[in-house]
């Protein structure tokens, strides 16, 4: 009797780990959509009157932005889970994997909190309400998100897997900036770090996810 044909091993490449690419692409696309939808949002330092006027005249836009932000948070959870699984397959330390997953979950929670305050602030009836919701939305979506995203980036950058040196070094710099930016509510000049971490981290996640998907494990099970 002829021996049964053996199945060829599946390629250890991007196609096999497409969940990383899909989740990263989804998070990036939804974040860009949120930024576009809320491009006219009053920035920190705007007057109370400007904040109230925007909340009352752009309720629909704010609601759309909140939905996009929540959707991007879901995509970030999926990405963090996929990165954790891939790092485990590549032999990363438990500590690094834990930082990656925990940071991703916390960052997604920060985005969700920001989105809920945006949604609640849409159509605010009074100046006090509009300003309070705007401030809390900024705290969650700014310093809180930057610091927790930094934890994810730090975990992946120190995972001792075969990522390009440029990605690891850039990741460490972004992580440091994100952790320091948590002080921005008290030290105003540090607020300049927030967009660097947010958008730099977005680009970094895309490259890191692609490289993790392409990396080959040291042994086949």
pLDDT per residue over 68-84, tens digit each?
Answer: 999 999 999 999 999 99
The answer to whether residues 170 and 208 touch, using CB atoms and an 8 Å cutoff, is: no
- pLDDT band for position 108 (cuts 50, 70, 90): very high
Q: Does residue 9 carry a pLDDT above 50?
A: no
3-state secondary structure of 208: helix
Percent of the chain at pLDDT > 70 equals: 89
The pLDDT score that the predictor gives to residue 16 is 54
Q: Does residue 185 carry a pLDDT above 50?
A: yes
Report residue 24 as tokens: 């990263």
Report residue 117 as tokens: 């305050």
Q: Quick one: 218 exposed, middle or buried, by C-beta within 10 A (0-12, 13-18, 19+)?
A: exposed
- As a whole number of angstroms, the distance between CA 62 and CA 92 comes to 40
pTM above 0.85, yes or no: yes
- pLDDT band for position 21 (cuts 50, 70, 90): very high
Tens digit of pLDDT for each residue in 128-180?
999 999 999 999 999 999 999 999 999 999 987 778 899 999 999 999 999 99
- As a whole number of angstroms, the distance between CA 87 and CA 162 comes to 10
């Amino acid at each position: 009797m002829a021996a049964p044909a053996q199945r060829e091993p599946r390629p250890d490449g991007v196609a096999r780990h497409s969940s990383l690419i899909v989740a990263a692409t989804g998070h990036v696309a939804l974040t860009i959509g949120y930024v576009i939808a809320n491009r006219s949002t009053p920035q920190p330092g705007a007057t109370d009157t400007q904040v109230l006027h925007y909340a009352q005249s752009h309720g629909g836009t704010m609601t759309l932005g909140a939905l996009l932000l929540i959707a991007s948070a879901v995509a970030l959870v999926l990405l963090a889970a996929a990165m954790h699984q891939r790092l485990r397959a590549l032999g990363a330390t438990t500590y690094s994997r834990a930082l990656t997953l925990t940071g991703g979950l916390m960052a997604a929670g920060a985005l969700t909190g920001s989105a809920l305050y945006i949604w609640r602030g849409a159509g605010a009836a009074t100046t006090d309400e509009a300003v309070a919701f705007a401030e809390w939305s900024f705290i969650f979506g700014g310093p809180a998100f930057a610091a927790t995203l930094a934890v994810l980036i730090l975990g992946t950058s120190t995972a001792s897997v075969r990522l390009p040196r440029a990605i690891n070094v850039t990741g460490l710099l972004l992580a440091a900036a994100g952790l320091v930016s948590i002080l921005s509510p008290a030290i105003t000049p540090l607020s300049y770090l927030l967009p660097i971490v947010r958008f730099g981290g977005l680009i970094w996640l895309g490259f890191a996810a692609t490289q993790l998907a392409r990396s080959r494990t040291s042994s086949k099970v």
